[in-house]
Amino acid sequence: MQQIDQDTAVLAIRHLAKAFGSVQVLEDINLELKGGEIVALMGENGAGKSTLLNIVSGSFPADGGDMVFIGSPSSWSGPKAALDAGIAVVHQELSVIRALTVAENMFLGDYCSRRGIVDRKEMHRRATALLAEIDASHIRPDAPMDSLRIADQQAVEIAKALRRDLKLLLLDEPTSSLTPHEVRGLFTLLRRLRDRGVAIVFISHRIEEALDLCDRIVVLRDGRLISNTPSTDTDRSRIVADMAGRQVPTGASRPDGGTDEVVLRASELSDGGLVRGASFELRRGEILGLFGLVGAGRTEVLEMIYGLRPIVEGSIEREGAPYRPQSPQASIRDGVALLPEGRKFNGILPFRPIQENVSISALPRLGRFGILDVAAEGAVMAKAAREFGIVMHDAGQPISTLSGGNQQKCILARCLSIGPRILLLDEPTHGVDVRTKEQVYEIIRRLADDGMSIIVASSDMLELFQIASRILVLSNGRVGGLHKVGETTPVDLMRDAFRHLN
């Protein structure tokens, strides 16, 4: 691997901007990365970190600004062009093919071959040399990828990057699934690469890790670069304040929402994995916010209440009686509805008509003896279109032809079609425009005013301040804090979100 001058700017970013539709994701980003340094890129969910990495690595183009890579203006035509230039990405969800061997993954698309025949002996020899270069000789080139621990799969991805004369390594939450021992091993490897002149960008929510490993801490907030500070000149409190420092509109929250009647009480809930000992109460007519960083356990808690994830330890009471959700179907019958995160994969039936997508949860109530009452189904659809303002040409068109905001309204209408008493919303406004977001907020407030009990899990603090009366903060699967909206700040929430992270 070619040694890089540690005084050289490997990458210089100038006035970079990116928008998706009307949403400005990055604005006027100026950043320089030098050889032989590790830079932490931090910010709450949605700050623009992953978008910046995707632009730098060629996954999609910027809308404005420019990049200079090793002294030359650069704009990659795609990830392969960036990789050929010496820029590698290790994503949180590793892009490995588990059915192939280590060597096959490392040389995918560029197998060592002679006259069209793969030379496995040469491929294994070169894979062994690359693994030794990062002190990972314990990994066998012929081992199936799915037999390796996550830490070793990451090492394979990094060794693979060394084939291309690595100059810039981008890591997105690389420690999220590692044990403390594996984290130490990864840090040793990254420091070794730094000493050889590689520039490294390290995305993480773990502040202590960033302060321990990185030379500089860069914080993004709402698509803007807020601070760029040597790690020796900052601390946890300042980083949290930089990440969370936003003003919340006065009077936007529901500080007195709900009654004193407890509708649902969770005690020491655990799923045998991430969630450990979560306890909280939900009151009638309340909107309870559920906040936490990526991997905090927000989705898992909702799935346990809904019967989609088993409760291994702990218990739930509903209106004073023991309650054990057995399945989503049973929860629907019991008046509990869930709007899942990620409508594209978990919410819509993309090629089925809009009407079917809206009515599917209510089908048992829309017919007799297994025969669907088409008129009743049509009435459900008409009511949804009227109350939610769903913009469509015809209820028979595939739901995938609608905008993201209208798809989200359809899923929310589906939840309400069963007449729930408890409504669970996981990232209910993710990927919708500002106007639709405000419409969804108004619907949620109206439902709570009518006595429905609602839990809203969101990575957007501003969203929770606008609609919730209390906010429960999860940190690494445990409760980090519980706050009344009128008596707390974004900084308090961020501090609690980091409470149980090392």
Tens of pLDDT along 22-80?
778 899 999 999 999 999 999 876 788 888 999 999 988 999 999 999 888 888 888 88
Helix (H) or strand (E) holding 242: helix 236-244
d(CA 334, CA 422) in angstroms, rounded, equals 9
How many residues belong to the chain?
A: 502
Chain CA centroid to CA 268, Å: 25
Is it the case that residue 147 has pLDDT exceeding 60? yes
Structure tokens at 72: 């030359």
φ, ψ of residue 50 in degrees (nearest 5): -65, -35
Closest C-alpha to 91, from 275, 294, 292, 273: 294
- Percent of the chain's residues with pLDDT above 70: 91
Give the CA distances from residue 362 to residues 337, 376, 419, in Å, rounded to whole numbers and listed in that order.
Answer: 11, 10, 9
Tens of pLDDT along 71-113?
888 888 888 888 888 898 887 667 778 788 888 888 876 666 5
Is it the case that residue 446 has pLDDT exceeding 80? yes
Is it the case that residue 319 has pLDDT exceeding 60? yes
Is it the case that residue 21 has pLDDT exceeding 90? no
Is the Cβ–Cβ distance between 219 and 243 less than 8 Å?
yes
**Pair type for strands 278-283 and 262-270:** antiparallel
> What was the pLDDT predicted at 250?
47
d(CA 22, CA 329) in angstroms, rounded, equals 38
For CA atoms 97, 100, 101, 103, give the dihedral sign: negative
> What was the pLDDT predicted at 91?
79
> What was the pLDDT predicted at 5?
57
> What was the pLDDT predicted at 261?
93
CA dihedral of residues 77, 34, 24, 432 (deg, nearest 10): 80
Is it the case that residue 278 has pLDDT exceeding 60? yes
Please name the residue that has the structure tokens 């040469």.
122
Is the Cβ–Cβ distance between 254 and 448 less than 8 Å?
yes
Interval 280-299 mean pLDDT: 92
Is it the case that residue 333 has pLDDT exceeding 70? yes
d(CA 306, CA 313) in angstroms, rounded, equals 16
Specify the pTM. Answer: 0.67
In DSSP terms, which residues pair with 119 in a beta bridge? none
Nearest-Å Rg of the Cα atoms of the chain is: 25
Is it the case that residue 224 has pLDDT exceeding 60? yes
Order of strands, sheet of 23-34, starting from the edge strand that comes earlier in the sequence: 23-34, 9-20, 64-69, 72-74
In DSSP terms, which residues pair with 122 in a beta bridge? none
Is the Cβ–Cβ distance between 172 and 89 less than 8 Å?
yes
Please name the residue that has the structure tokens 């096959």.
104
Taken in order of first residue, the domains within the chain and their CATH numbers are 9-244 (3.40.50.300), 249-335+421-502 (3.40.50.300), 344-419 (no CATH)
d(CA 44, CA 260) in angstroms, rounded, equals 33
Is it the case that residue 393 has pLDDT exceeding 50? yes
- E strands, 240-334, are 262-270, 278-283, 287-291, 313-318, 321-323
> What was the pLDDT predicted at 112?
61
Is the Cβ–Cβ distance between 458 and 257 less than 8 Å?
no
For CA atoms 207, 212, 218, 223, give the dihedral sign: negative
Interval 455-462 mean pLDDT: 89
More confident residue, 71 or 250: 71
- Alpha helices per DSSP H over 277-416: 298-306, 328-333, 354-359, 374-388, 404-416
- Percent of the chain's residues with pLDDT above 90: 39
> What was the pLDDT predicted at 164?
74
Mean pLDDT comparison of 43-52, 306-315, 394-403, highest-scoring range: 306-315
φ, ψ of residue 281 in degrees (nearest 5): -125, 150
Sequence-separated (6 or more) residues with CB below 8 Å from residue 269:
275, 277, 278, 279, 301, 304, 311, 313, 314, 315, 316
d(CA 364, CA 73) in angstroms, rounded, equals 61
> What was the pLDDT predicted at 114?
64
